[in-house]
Amino acid sequence: MLRDQLNEALKEAMRARDTNAVGTIRLILAKLKEVDIAARTEANREGVADDRILSMLQGMIKQRNESITLYEKGNRADLADKEKAEIDVIHRFLPKQMDEAAVEAAVKEAIASSGAKSIRDMGGIMAALKAKYAGQMDFAKASTAVKKMLG
């Protein structure tokens, strides 16, 4: 389970005195706790599933990429480098990312299986892709591919 991997990685980073990894993994675990609390109901006290954790990690990477862009515009290379280092740590917990050819093939398959004909069907295709490829696919690229194929 991904949650166990994160906790074990924190212990390993602490033993190795890798302050960058310790800080980043603690940020991940804090965000995970927020997501768990938000998803809690009376009936369900369990934490969120791995697919939700993968989506959360993707979101954290997206936030850091946006920060890097802003820091580079502001000539703050030191802060941009810190964000890049955090991204490297987060990537350790994500499955191997699909390349553009694999993304296009997955989009073609989703379009064929759903019988989509126009751009109005894009929401269903994106939902199917997110359910099947959470954490493995850059959904911004997938969205562009869907628009290209249906538009």
For the chain, domains (ranges, CATH) are: 2-91 (1.10.1510.10), 100-150 (1.10.10.410)
Mean pLDDT of 97-111: 88
The residue among 60, 14, 10 whose CA lies nearest residue 35 is 60
Is there a contact between 142 and 126 (Cβ–Cβ < 8 Å)?
yes
* pLDDT of the residue at 69: 96
pLDDT in tens, 18-44: 999 999 999 999 999 999 998 887 777
Q: What is the mean pLDDT of the chain?
A: 90
Q: What is the pLDDT of residue 99?
A: 86
C-alpha to C-alpha distance for 78 and 148, rounded to whole angstroms: 38
At 110, list the tokens. Answer: 């989703």
pLDDT average, residue stretch 113-120: 85
**pLDDT value of position 5:** 94
- Indicate the DSSP class of residue 118: S
Per-residue pLDDT band at 77 (split at 50, 70, 90):
very high
What pLDDT score does 139 carry? 82
* Residue 116 near residue 145 (C-beta atoms within 8 A): no
For residue 124, give the nearest of 116, 132, 134 by alpha carbon. Answer: 116
Counting DSSP H helices and E strands in the chain, the numbers are 7, 0
pLDDT score of 88: 95
Which residues fall within 8 angstroms of residue 58, CB to CB, at 6 or more apart?
94, 134, 135, 139
Question: Higher model confidence: residue 68 or residue 116?
Answer: 68
H or E stretch covering 131:
helix 122-133
